[in-house]
Amino acid sequence: MSGVGAGRRFSLTRWASTGFSALALLTLLAIVSLFLWQALPVWKLEGTGFVTREKWFYRQDQYGAAPMIYGTLAVAAVAMILAAPVGIGAAIYCACFLPPRLRLGFKVAIELLAGVPSVVYGLLGILLLRDWVYVALERFDVLSGDSLLTAGILLAVMILPTLITLADDALYHVPLSRRLAARGLGLTCTETILHVTLPHAWRGVLAALLLALGRACGEMIAVFLVVGRQDNQWPEKLWSPRPLIEAGQTLSTKLGSSETNIAYGNPVHWSAIVGVGLLLLFIVTTVTIIGSKVGLLGKRHET
């Protein structure tokens, strides 16, 4: 027999909790299948072209989401490249150097930052970041301050709190005995962190990175305000940095645009919008699930 209360007697708690979890699961299934069903017309029209084609012209019934997938990944990549070193650095400082009381205070402050509504970050982005990027990049003849890069920098700031607090948890839970043993063997502070703490906690740190990445991919309103929302920006050279300083569109900003209102009532156009939603759902859940899995494995590994 598994847990407590799993005996033969009827237990209301058990039945109710089973029922509620089933309800949650069914709701999720219902939403996903509704989305799949609603997205059918565009799959019939475009097939795999929906994710590989580069043109989105709804009045000509062309729906290629590739530039938006590129936009989403590019913005998230910029954010991760900028946030990862800063975030992990801050987490190391927090977990390994701060006295416990200060660490708690620091964590409270960081977690408050994580709770700031994203539209506030977006407005700050318009106020401070947009013009700064525009002036800084003026010699490259940029068209405006709205670009994938601007959105990426803004997202980096937004995902930092999540990244720091999760990575700090992972690093802090490396048993103290190991760290002390390492110091006792004569390793310096830096050596202890590089050779004992980080290797022991790498799964947790990786999970923190992936969960932050999930947030970066799904973020809408802040990106919406600074990304420029220009369709069909498929780069000629995929790895060239030039497209990053041009305006672009991500999956989530497409969903936030007024095109959803126009699409409503036109079955194919609507299903294309729902299809974009599905793609976004797919990317975010995949990253998040891998993130939580890695994190869980890490915890099991420790005990």
Partner 1 sequence: MKVKSLQLFLSFLLSASPAWAEALKINGSTTVNLPATEAAEVLRNEKKMEIQLDTQGGSSGGISMLGEGLVHLGMSSKHVSDDDRKKFPKCDYKEIQVGEDAVALVVSKDVWDGGVKSLGKEQVAAIYEGRIKNWKDVGGPDKRIAFFNKEPGRGTWEVFVHWVYGDPKKAPQVSFPEVGGNEEGRNKVASTKGAITQLSSSWADGKTAFALSLKVGDKDVSPETEYIASGEYPMSRPLFLLSNGEATGTAKEFADFMLSPRGQEFVRKHGYLALADLKR
In contact, 96 and 197? CB cutoff 8 Å: yes
- Residue (of 171, 252, 245, 153) closest to 208 by Cα position: 171
**Using alpha carbons only, what angle is made at residue 36 by residues 211 and 288, rounded to the nearest 5 degrees?**
5
Please pick, from the candidates 247, 273, 278, 279, the single residue that binds partner 1 as defined by CB under 8 A: 247
Contact status, residue 154 vs residue 226, Cβ threshold 8 Å: yes
Tell me how long the chain is: 303
Minimum Å gap between C-beta 14 and partner 1 is 29
Structure-block tokens of residue 274: 């729902």
Vertex 250 angle, CA 264 and 281, to 5°: 70
Least Cβ distance, residue 12 to partner 1 (angstroms): 28
Q: Which of residues 248-277 bind partner 1 (CB under 8 A)?
A: 257-262, 264-265, 267, 270
Site for partner 1 in 91-150 (CB under 8 A): 126, 130-131, 134, 141, 143-146
Hey, which residues between 34 and 53 contact partner 1 (CB under 8 A)?
Answer: 34, 37-38
Q: Give the nearer residue to partner 1 in terms of CB position, either 200 or 229.
A: 229
Q: Where are the beta strands (DSSP E) in the chain?
A: 56-57, 62-63
Q: With respect to partner 1, which residue has the nearer C-beta, 60 or 190?
A: 60
Distance, in Å, from the CA atom of 199 to the CA atom of 193, rounded to the nearest integer, reads: 8
Show the site string, 55-94: x = touches partner 1 by CB under 8 A, - = not. --xxxx----------------------------------
Token reading at 237 = 């050279």
Listed ranges 76-84, 112-120, 202-210, 225-233: which one lies at the site for partner 1 (CB under 8 A): 225-233
Subset of residues 274 to 303 that bind partner 1, contact rule: CB under 8 A: none
Distance of alpha carbon 71 from alpha carbon 1, whole angstroms: 51
Shortest gap between Cβ of 138 and partner 1 (angstroms)? 8
Which tokens go with 224? 């919406």
In the complex with partner 1, the residue whose CB is nearer, 228 or 298, is 228
* Rg of the Cα atoms in the chain: 23
- Alpha-carbon gap, residue 232 to 278, rounded angstroms: 19
For residues 151 and 153, what is the distance between their CA atoms, to the nearest angstrom?
6
CB of 249 to partner 1, least distance (A): 9
Number of residues that bind partner 1 (CB under 8 A): 34
Please give the distance of CA 144 from its chain centroid, rounded to a whole number. Answer: 26
Among 230, 255, 268, 292, binds partner 1 (CB under 8 A): 230
Give the Cα separation of 124 and 130 in Å (integer). 9
Nearest-approach distance from CB 30 to partner 1, in angstroms: 9
Question: Which of 13/60 has CB closer to partner 1?
Answer: 60
* Distance of closest approach, residue 230 Cβ to partner 1, in angstroms: 4
Nearer to partner 1, 63 or 172 (CB): 63
Query: Where do contacts with partner 1 occur on this chain (CB under 8 A)?
Result: 34, 37-38, 57-60, 126, 130-131, 134, 141, 143-146, 225, 228-233, 247, 257-262, 264-265, 267, 270
